[in-house]
Structure 1
Amino acid sequence: MEDQRIVNNEDYAVVLIDGVCHLCQGLTQFIIRRDPAGAFRFASLQSEIGQELLRQGGFDGESTETMILIENGKYYTRSTGALRIARRLRFPWSLSYALILIPPVLRNLVYRWVAKNRYRWFGRSNECMVPTPEIRRRFLS
């Protein structure tokens, strides 16, 4: 199955984002600019492939309150996923992985607070971001 190959791909990790969230769209662009090696691919949680990857990971199709990192077949959510992404970005962003030492319950309090307010603070679109042609290759269909 092609989707299983994507999940277990060792060449890159997959980041599932809320495709209509402006904060999530901005973070996707932030990651792409700081990941010249192309270690990450992206898909919207609302897309067909995003929904399939959610199901494979045991999530319901309504899981839009968190971004999800799929790395070597393992699913990471909330602050743990975000920090694992940061770890693979260019210096100095990789240094923020040290925050993993903070207990997850505390990290996720902040994560959930931002996630709960992201639409109010940053807005949302009626449809998912359309990537520019030069970064289109980083998005899963």
Structure 2
Amino acid sequence: MKTAHDPHPVIVFDAECILCSANAQFVVRHDHARRFRLASMQGEVGAALYRRFGIDPADPETMIVVEGEKALRDSDAVLAIYRGLGWPWKALGLLRIVPGFLRNPVYRLIARNRYLIFGRHNACWLPSPDDADRFL
């Protein structure tokens, strides 16, 4: 299980969601420092992290980024990912100047309708063997 002493933030995502899986693949491709670890909400670690932060893994409407003992959710989680990828993606972190009360409703609307808008995989996306160590 992820602990406060783990230096790697963990992105918990929906591996059946085409958009979410594409985002996870984007992170794997652009996280050259290998800073992030990933866990699907369908897996044991991801589901446990969701439950730890009061989110039902069977019906989530957010992804989370777990850093130590806290979890970022909604648009804050997305922006934390971009800030953690380094340049040029880090520049997208400047979107934090847009207040959360404006960003989060848009995020939640997309999250609630992600399967309808982007589709759903019949099976969870799996990483390549070279990146398997980045998945929990």
* Post-superposition offset of 1:62: 2.8
Letter paired with 1:15? I
Aligned to 1:65: 61
TM-score by structure 2 length?
0.92
Alpha-carbon distance between aligned partners in 2 of 1:113 and 1:97, rounded to the nearest angstrom: 21
Report the count of equivalent residues.
136
5+ unaligned residues in a row in structure 2: which ranges? none
After superposition, where does 1:115-126 map in structure 2 within 5 Å? Answer: 115-126=111-122
| Long gaps (5+) in structure 1 | none
Higher mean alpha-carbon deviation, 57-66 vs 126-135, is at 57-66
The answer to whether 1:36 aligns with 2:11 is no
C-alpha offsets along residues 62-116 of structure 1, whole Å, 9 cap, x if unaligned? 3422111001221110100111111111211101111111111100121112213
Match of 1:133 in 2: 129
Q: Give the Å deviation of 1:15.
A: 0.4
Which residue does 2:94 correspond to in 1?
98
The alignment yields a C-alpha RMSD, in angstroms, of: 1.4
Q: Distance in 2 between matches of 1:124 and 1:111?
A: 18
SS in 1 for 2:130: coil
Trace 1:14-25 onto structure 2 (pairs within 5 A).
14-25=10-21
The change in CA–CA distance for 1:39 and 1:9 in structure 2 (over 3 A counts) is farther
Q: TM-score, normalised by structure 1?
A: 0.89
Q: Which residue of 2 aligns with 1:54?
A: 50
Residues 61-70 or 22-31, more deviating: 61-70
Alpha carbons of structure 1 residues 61 and 73: separation in structure 2 relative to 1, 3 Å: same
Identical aligned residues as a percent: 41
